[in-house]
Amino acid sequence: MKEQVTIIPIPVVTPGQQYSFQQRLPRTTARIIGIETGINILSLLPPVATTGTEFKRTLFLGNLQLQLNGSPNLFWSDTVIADDNSIAMGELRPPNNLPRPAIGIVPAGGTGRSFYQFHDCTHGTKKEEQVIDICGSRLISGQYRDYTGQFFTTGIRYTITLYVWTENSLT
């Protein structure tokens, strides 16, 4: 196999938490070719303030940064969000212009969602890694900082999953 993915879980349990980690990539790694992230939310999300319209801001959770060992600069940095609340913008609206229902508890026996209800799972684009080309070290350092403590008094427990795609020198 020419490509391989290394999975790094980042648990967040308290508001404002900073999480630092180091991860050694497989011995056969020639270079890093892509980064992906995923998120698993364990506690209930607090309601996000709205402006009285159907516009609802996307819940920003924190910032993740990656650095290669021996190199002073960051090679990747991105924000982490819970769900993309702007996904319905520019789409066909329901005839009666109903606002997008909040994501929440699934009714028993099904999701009960129609195609006019816009969520990442139904209307999201195909997930693709962010392409990068980094070589020189097999040890990466990372830091995640949670920002939810600035917006909410109650903490949100969640786990970020970082996927580091690498290309092997052995084909």
Partner 1 sequence: MGTIKKRFDLSVTEAEKTFSKTFELDKHIVYIKGILLTSDKDDLLYYRGSQKIEVDKQEVFPENYESKLLQSGINVSPNQRYYDLGNMPAGAGSIKLEYKDTQDSRAAFTPYRVSLYMDCITA
The residues binding partner 1 (CB under 8 A) are: 1, 5, 7, 9, 36, 38, 40-45, 82-83, 103-106, 108-111, 113, 115, 119-127, 161, 163
> CB under 8 Å to 116, separation ≥6 — which residues?
92, 93, 94, 98
Residue 121 three-state SS: helix
In angstroms, what is the minimal distance from the CB of 94 to partner 1? 16
Q: How far is residue 64's CA from residue 38's CA, in Å, rounded to a whole number?
A: 12
Compare residues 29 and 67 and give the one whose CB is closer to partner 1: 29
Cα–Cα–Cα angle for 67, 71, 75, rounded to 5 degrees: 40
In angstroms, what is the minimal distance from the CB of 58 to partner 1? 14
Compare residues 61 and 67 and give the one whose CB is closer to partner 1: 61
Compare residues 3 and 71 and give the one whose CB is closer to partner 1: 3
> CB under 8 Å to 104, separation ≥6 — which residues?
none
Torsion of CA 22, 23, 29, 33, to 10 degrees: -80
Q: How far is residue 133's CA from residue 161's CA, in Å, rounded to a whole number?
A: 20
Please give the structure tokens belonging to residue 5.
Answer: 């993915």
Please give the structure tokens belonging to residue 92.
Answer: 């066909």
Compare residues 54 and 129 and give the one whose CB is closer to partner 1: 129
Residue 118 three-state SS: coil
Compare residues 30 and 87 and give the one whose CB is closer to partner 1: 87
In angstroms, what is the minimal distance from the CB of 77 to partner 1? 20
In angstroms, what is the minimal distance from the CB of 20 to partner 1? 21
In angstroms, what is the minimal distance from the CB of 31 to partner 1? 17
